[in-house]
């Protein structure tokens, strides 16, 4: 049996996609990986205010994404909403 649902993780990347850090998860839950993947572009546009050279949106099973917790969240760039 697969995961119950998927969520989108926003990753901040310092060097292309080689050194990425999860900066947030989008609170919306998706019933399938396909539905999640279809929403990644919009999620990335809506959550692009982090100070990294590049950002990625990645679908993850909810259980795996919940286990990745950061003690300190990166600060959003000022002036970008």
* 66: exposed, middle or buried (Cβ count in 10 Å: 0-12, 13-18, 19+): exposed
> Which DSSP helix (H) or strand (E) runs through 66?
helix 62-66
Domain assignment of residue 14, given as a range: 6-66
Q: How many domains does the chain have?
A: 1
For Cα atoms 58, 61, 63, give the angle at the middle one, nearest 5 degrees. 130
| 65 against 5, higher pLDDT | 5
Q: Could you tell me if residue 42 is inside a domain?
A: yes
Q: Could you tell me if residue 58 is inside a domain?
A: yes
Q: What is the mean pLDDT of residues 1-26?
A: 86
- The tokens describing 23, both together, are 């900066």
Q: What is the mean pLDDT of residues 37-57?
A: 95
Q: Could you tell me if residue 52 is inside a domain?
A: yes
Confidence of residue 64 (pLDDT cuts 50, 70, 90): low
């Amino acid at each position: 049996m697969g995961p119950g649902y998927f969520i989108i993780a926003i990753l901040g990347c310092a060097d292309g996609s080689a050194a990425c850090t999860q900066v947030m998860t989008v609170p919306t839950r998706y019933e399938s990986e396909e539905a999640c993947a279809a929403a990644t572009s919009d999620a990335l546009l809506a959550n692009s205010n982090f100070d990294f050279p590049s950002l990625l949106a990645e679908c993850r099973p909810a259980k795996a994404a919940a286990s990745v917790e950061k003690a300190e969240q990166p600060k959003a760039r000022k002036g970008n909403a």
